[in-house]
Amino acid sequence: MDEKAKRLEIDLGEKESEGIYSNMVLIAHSPYEFIFDFARYLPGVKKARVYSRIIMTPQHARSLLRTLEENVKKFEQKFGKIEMGERESTIGFKGPDE
């Protein structure tokens, strides 16, 4: 199969093309799926709001992780290392060791 035959056409709607800002993600999982709730937390507000929920298989979650790692490396090669700085709270995106 040639490269042209492998291309997938992607339809991006007008509303979806605007994107949704998120500074917090809540992740849950079962043996069959991963659930990502992308939320926005505002300082001084005691409640964060979920703006998008994405549900995927464990295999797709692993593929997402791999793709995200590759893209962060490409970003840092082009723009420099991403500095995390000090965090004022435990709210937001967190790794397993944080």
Q: How far apart are CA 53 and CA 73, in angstroms?
A: 26
Residues 77 and 7 sit within 8 Å (Cβ to Cβ): no
- Kindly report, residue by residue over 10-55, the tens digit of the pLDDT: 999 999 999 999 999 999 999 999 999 999 999 899 999 999 999 9
- Kindly report, residue by residue over 48-86, the tens digit of the pLDDT: 999 999 999 999 999 999 999 999 999 999 999 998 876
pTM over 0.85: no
